[in-house]
Structure 1
């Protein structure tokens, strides 16, 4: 078992894991991302990446992933990591790969002086909630998550509004 930074060759496997995660989260048709999207975000031809990924590999096969990006806290004055997606294939769960992926991100935070590692979890996902709590993660129940997309985003973002 190995945890490592993703390479461009991992993009097809990462996209498949994202699709598998969407199915697990009961949104199998919600993934619009393509390999080109992931390649551009993770490995841009110019400039700095906006998104990062680590993969879990067993016997040369990518079986898990953590996709993340940097955040900034105005309260602490430093960056943190937002874990966008963590996923390990169901048959590989319980092997320590999920913990190892999170530990890698936590180590990145510690090494770089980041103050936070944060993510969302669906309220119905009891196995994940229990797993995260067992590692010492604390739910932030006092906050409500808001999202704006589609027509509302287009309307608010239209010129002259």
Structure 2
């Protein structure tokens, strides 16, 4: 199967939003507000300073998406990229779609001032954890804590 990875375009917003909605429902049993989700996706697509979406396609069909956001590390004097919103259409899971997306991001990071590529995953999502570990990622020793306005 030939998997093409590309930068997302503004016209991809609806598919990205649908995939994000499916991700939230599948992994966290959350029903995201559609209007808020669409606004958030569009806003990121309009401002690469916020992050970037990547698309995986098979025969012109979008089958996977992910996004990176940026964190500056003074300790490392460089960027940390955070992989977020990972979703692969159920019909294409286990076919190497996320591996291609990840390797694409990894290659871009190697040509930029990126010190680390990170992501967070629900402890209960064993399949995703196994995929990330198989790709060479490792437990960082950090635990993510959160405060804020909720979901």
CA offset digits 1:75-106 (Å, max 9, x no partner): 11001211122111121011111000001111
More strand by share: 2
Deviation at 1:31, TM superposition (A): 4.7
Mapped pair 1:60 → 2:60: yes
Coordinate RMSD, CA, aligned: 1.7
Q: Distance in 2 between matches of 1:107 and 1:144?
A: 27
Deviation at 1:17, TM superposition (A): 0.4
CA offset digits 1:121-141 (Å, max 9, x no partner): 11111111111111111012x
Structure 1 or 2, whichever has the larger Rg, is 1
Partner of 1:83: 83
SS at match of 2:105: helix
Q: Size of the alignment, in residue pairs?
A: 147
Q: Distance in 1 between matches of 2:54 and 2:136?
A: 21
Q: Distance in 2 between matches of 1:129 and 1:34?
A: 25
What runs of 5+ residues in structure 2 fail to find an aligned partner? none
TM-score (norm 1): 0.84
Q: Distance in 2 between matches of 1:122 and 1:144?
A: 11
What runs of 5+ residues in structure 1 fail to find an aligned partner? 152-161
TM-score (norm 2): 0.89
Deviation at 1:50, TM superposition (A): 1.0
SS at match of 1:131: helix
Kindly report which structure 2 residues correspond to 1:41-60, keeping only aligned pairs within 5 A, or say none: 41-44=44-47, 49-60=49-60
Point out which structure has higher relative CO (alpha carbons under 8 A, 6+ apart): 2
SS at match of 1:143: coil
Partner of 1:159: none
CA offset digits 1:32-87 (Å, max 9, x no partner): 5332321122214xxx5312100011122211101111111121100121112211
Give 1:36's match in structure 2, choosing from 11, 35, 39. Answer: 39
Partner of 1:8: 10
Q: Distance in 2 between matches of 1:37 and 1:56?
A: 20
SS at match of 1:34: helix
Describe the shift of the 1:116–1:87 C-alpha distance in structure 2 as closer, same or farther (beyond 3 A).
same
